[in-house]
């Protein structure tokens, strides 16, 4: 299994960061990497567009974890089951009452994980980091 994981410290309470993460409609206002349509409910399919250097990639992953204020994950696959899949996750950890550690990553599996990861690893890491910075700024601007 291959993994990409990033982290960022956000100067906002977990509740604020969670609201930003789960407000898919507002992603167009702040998120340069991902847009999402659908309901963040366990078992639901989402419509996800990932923007990698101007190229849009469309996915229909399934929500596999949705723990309010703590963790949100989806699982998507490309082609046939067992060839390439990604478990995309967001984990929120309170550092203090007014600080949240965001862990944003994805675990990749399947027969094609090696060749695909060699092709997309750096772009994906940049996308995660770009989204993290935008989420930090947007969340911190929501703190009163």
Containing domain of residue 111, as a range? 2-140
Tens-digit pLDDT profile for the chain (144 aa)? 789 999 999 999 999 999 999 999 999 999 999 999 999 999 999 999 999 878 999 999 999 999 999 999 999 988 777 889 999 999 999 999 999 999 999 999 988 888 888 888 999 999 999 999 999 999 999 876
13-33 confidence digits (pLDDT tens): 999 999 999 999 999 999 999
30-54 confidence digits (pLDDT tens): 999 999 999 999 999 999 999 987 8
CATH number, residue 112:
3.30.530.20
Residue 54: per-residue pLDDT:
83
Buried b (16+ CB within 10 A) or exposed e, 27-42: beeebebbbbeeebee
Residues contacting 35, CB < 8 A, separation 6+: 24, 27, 28, 48, 49, 51
Q: Indicate the number of domains in the chain.
A: 1
């Amino acid at each position: 299994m291959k993994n990409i994981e990033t982290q960022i410290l956000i100067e906002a309470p977990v509740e604020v960061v969670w609201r930003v993460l789960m407000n898919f409609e507002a992603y167009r206002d702040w998120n340069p990497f991902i847009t999402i349509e659908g309901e963040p409910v366990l078992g639901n399919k989402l419509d996800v567009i990932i923007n990698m250097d101007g190229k849009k990639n469309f996915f229909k992953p399934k929500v596999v974890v949705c723990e309010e204020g703590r963790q949100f994950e989806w699982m998507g696959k490309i082609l046939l089951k067992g060839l390439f899949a990604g478990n995309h996750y967001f984990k929120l950890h309170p550092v203090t009452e007014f600080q949240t550690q965001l862990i944003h990553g994805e675990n990749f599996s399947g027969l094609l994980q090696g060749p695909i990861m060699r092709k997309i690893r750096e772009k994906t890491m940049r996308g995660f980091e770009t989204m993290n910075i935008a989420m930090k700024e947007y969340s911190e601007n929501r703190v009163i």
